[in-house]
Structure 1
C-alpha cells in the first residue's frame, strides 16, 4: 500500500506552529538500566576482532559510534575486504526497530549477532571458533561467570552484544524536546518542515518512536527505482530473498530517520550520497510527487532536528 497521506492534512496557520502538531511520533526514551556487567561485556565484544574468522574485523569497524553508528560508506568492506551487499545501517536506536537487517530476516538483536558472525561476507566465522577464542581469554571467562553465573557460550555472547546495543539510544534531539513541550526549541522553518513532512505523507511510513523501523515497504511504490538506477543485484530483491513471496520483491524495512543527517549515504544500496538526494528519491519513487524547492528545503531542515545525543553529546 503506497505510503501517501498527502492532501489529508489541511495547511495550518502560522500561529498553530507554536504547539507540536498531532502525529504518530513520540520522543525517544532514556537508555534502559541494564545489568552493567553484561553491558560492559557486550561493549568489549562489540570492539573485539576475534569475532571474525581472521581476527581482522569487529562490529565497531562498520558501526562506528563516533560516526553516527555507521561508517559513511556506500558499502562497507567485510571479511577479506570484500564489499558487503547492502549499506551498513546505524547501530544507534536499532533496538527499537521491529526487525533487524534491511530485509527484516532477524527479529531480535541476538538473532542478528548469530547471523553476522557466520555470514561469509561479514565476520566469516563460526560459533565454535568464536566461543573457543572468547573462553580462552581469562578476563572474559571471569566476566561471563560474574555476569551470567556460567561459562562462555554462544547464547551468552549473543546476549551480551545485544545488551550493549540496547543501551545505544540517542534521546535529546531538538525535535524530541519539541515533542516534550519545548516549542521554542525549533525555528519557524523547522516547524513548517515538520508540517510538510506530515502533509506530503512521509509520516505514513516514518512514524513511531524511531520515526521508522516499524514496518516493511516496497522501494519504488510509484516508479521503478531499480530499472532507472540500473545494474540490479540480488540484494535489490530485499525481503523476497527471505520469503520467496513475489509480493516481497523489492520490499525492505523502512529505516529509522533518527540521526539521519549524520548517517549518509542512504538506502540499502548506499546510492544517495546526501540528504537532499535521498529526499528527491523518496518524493519520486515513494510519494510520486514533486515538491517545491521551498518545501524540500523545509523538510530537510526538519530532518536535521532529529539528531540526538549519546553520552550527553550531540552525534
Structure 2
C-alpha cells in the first residue's frame, strides 16, 4: 500500500473511532448504566472496559501516523537494506529465448564492448606518422636475417585473422617454433604479451621476434637498427614520425610497430552490436551460449571487453592462470597440454599461461599454446573439463565430480549439471559472435 493509501485509511479510521466512542458513551450513560444502577465513576470504568478494543485501534492509528510523517527514518531505511532484485521488465528477444532485466542485483557480471581505440603510453602517443611507419616495418622482411620473413609472415593482418593457421610457426631457414602464433588483432588491449606473458607492452614485445634465433634470426638489436639505417627510404618516414634530429634506434622501431598494432582493432562484431543495444544481433542459440559462458564460469578468466583477464581492463594479477587446473588424462595426454610449462618451472605438472583474448577465436584455429586442437567445439570441451571442472555429458544424471586433495587428504563431491553437446554447440556459436564482420567476410572469400 502506498503512502496516499495509508493516509486515506487513517482518515476513515479516525472517523470510525469518533463514531464508535460516541455510540459506546451513549449506551453506557443512558442505557447500561441506569439499568445497573451504577454511580457515575463506575459508568466511566465500564466505558473504558468496553472501549479497550477502540483504545488498541487508536494506538495502531498513532503508529501509522508516525510512519507516514517520518518515512526516511522508518520504512524506507529498512526497505533499502532488504531490497531484493526487482524484475522491471521482460522482453521477448526472439521466439525461443526470453530475456529479463533485473535491477538491484549485486555482483552481476557486466558485459562490455571494446573501445574503438587502444590506449597508448604517454611517451609513445599514437600518431598517423608512426602508424604509417609501423605498418611498413611490420610487413618488411628486412627485419629477418635472410630477408625472407616479416612480422606479417606469422601475423597476417592483410589477408588473415592476424596469425598463420599453423600449430608451430615457421621461422627462418625452415625452423619450427614450439608455440602457436597468437593473433595480433586487438593486441593493443592486452596488458602482457606472448603466451607466457613475459612482455609488459607492445613496444617490449616488438623487440623479441627479430632477435629470436628460431623466428627472424637477427644477431642483435643493434643489427636490427643498422639494417633499417642502411635503407635510405626509411629516413624521411622516421623524421616525420619522431623528428629530424632523432637517430633511428630500436626504441623508435618498436614504438612505431606498436603504434601500428594499436590500430588493429575489431569492434564490428555481432556481440558488440548486441551490447550496444541491437537486441536482434544475436540468435537464440548465441544468447543461450552467452548465458552458459557466464554460468559455467568462462568469464572468470575471459573477462572484460577483450575477453581476457590479461587485458588493460583488468588488474595485472589476473593476467595468467594455471593450466590445467583439474587433471584429465584424456585431454592432457592426447594434446600434450603439460609438455610445455609456459611461465612455470620446466617439468611442472601444471603450466602457467597468459589468458588469451577470445575475440575472433572462431577464425584463428588451431588452438591452445601448442596448436594441438584444430576445432573450436573440442577446445570448449577441454576448457570446461580441465579449467572449470565440468563434466561433458548428455546424461543429465551424470552430475557428480569427486575431487581428492592428496595434500590436505580431503575428499569433496561437487554436484553440477553436466555440459551437453547442445550446450557446447551454443557456446561455440556465441564465440562465433565475437568474430569481426570484415575478417569473417575476408575468410569466406579467401582474400
Shared fold by TM > 0.5? yes
- Asked if structure 1 preserves the Cα contact closer than 8 Å seen for 2:341 and 2:347, the reply is no
| TM-score, normalised by the number of residues in structure 1 | 0.87
Are 1:222 and 2:326 an aligned pair? yes
| Aligned match of 1:266 | 367
Point out 4+ residue stretches in structure 1 off by more than 4 angstroms: 224-227, 230-234, 244-247, 309-315
**CA separation of 1:310/1:130 partners in 2, compared to 1, >3 Å: closer, same or farther?**
farther
Aligned pairs for 1:138-287 within 5 A: 138-149=232-243, 150-214=246-310, 215-224=319-328, 227-229=332-334, 236-240=340-344, 249-287=350-388
Higher relative contact order, structure no. (Cα contacts within 8 Å, ≥ 6 residues apart): 1
Structure 1 distance, partners of 2:372, 2:172, is: 22
**CA separation of 1:94/1:76 partners in 2, compared to 1, >3 Å: closer, same or farther?**
same
Tell which structure's C-alpha radius of gyration is larger.
2
- Asked if structure 1 preserves the Cα contact closer than 8 Å seen for 2:160 and 2:439, the reply is no
The alpha carbon displacement at 1:309 in A equals 4.5
Structure 2 distance, partners of 1:18, 1:191, is: 14
| Aligned match of 1:29 | 115
Are 1:301 and 2:429 an aligned pair? yes
Find the residue that maps to 1:283 and give its secondary structure.
helix
Counterpart selection for 1:67 from 160, 173, 178: 160
| Aligned match of 2:147 | 55
- Asked if structure 2 preserves the Cα contact closer than 8 Å seen for 1:127 and 1:154, the reply is yes
| Aligned match of 2:174 | 81
| TM-score, normalised by the number of residues in structure 2 | 0.62
Structure 2 distance, partners of 1:229, 1:128, is: 43
- Asked if structure 2 preserves the Cα contact closer than 8 Å seen for 1:308 and 1:314, the reply is no
Find the residue that maps to 1:163 and give its secondary structure.
helix
Aligned pairs for 1:120-135 within 5 A: 120-125=213-218, 126-135=220-229
Structure 1 distance, partners of 2:116, 2:335, is: 42
**CA separation of 1:83/1:311 partners in 2, compared to 1, >3 Å: closer, same or farther?**
closer
Structure 1 distance, partners of 2:261, 2:202, is: 8
The alpha carbon displacement at 1:49 in A equals 0.7
**CA separation of 1:27/1:292 partners in 2, compared to 1, >3 Å: closer, same or farther?**
same
- Asked if structure 2 preserves the Cα contact closer than 8 Å seen for 1:171 and 1:310, the reply is no
The alpha carbon displacement at 1:276 in A equals 1.2
**CA separation of 1:104/1:245 partners in 2, compared to 1, >3 Å: closer, same or farther?**
farther
What is the aligned-residue RMSD (CA, Å)?
2.7
- Asked if structure 1 preserves the Cα contact closer than 8 Å seen for 2:338 and 2:351, the reply is no
Hey, which of these two has a bigger chunk of strand by percent? Answer: 2
Structure 2 distance, partners of 1:55, 1:120, is: 14
Counterpart selection for 1:109 from 190, 202, 207: 202
| Aligned match of 1:8 | none
Structure 2 distance, partners of 1:25, 1:266, is: 24
Aligned length, in residue pairs: 299
**CA separation of 1:183/1:17 partners in 2, compared to 1, >3 Å: closer, same or farther?**
farther
- Unpaired runs of 5+ in structure 1? 1-11
The alpha carbon displacement at 1:217 in A equals 0.8
Structure 1 distance, partners of 2:258, 2:193, is: 12
Are 1:15 and 2:111 an aligned pair? no
- Which deviations, in whole Å up to 9, do the C-alpha atoms of 1:126-153 show, x marking residues without a partner? 2222111211212201110121012211
Indicate the larger mover: 96-105 or 224-233: 224-233
- Asked if structure 2 preserves the Cα contact closer than 8 Å seen for 1:70 and 1:89, the reply is yes
**CA separation of 1:77/1:169 partners in 2, compared to 1, >3 Å: closer, same or farther?**
same
Structure 2 distance, partners of 1:17, 1:266, is: 35
Structure 1 distance, partners of 2:281, 2:294, is: 19
Find the residue that maps to 1:67 and give its secondary structure.
coil
- Asked if structure 1 preserves the Cα contact closer than 8 Å seen for 2:335 and 2:373, the reply is no
The alpha carbon displacement at 1:124 in A equals 1.3
- Asked if structure 1 preserves the Cα contact closer than 8 Å seen for 2:185 and 2:265, the reply is yes
**CA separation of 1:231/1:132 partners in 2, compared to 1, >3 Å: closer, same or farther?**
same
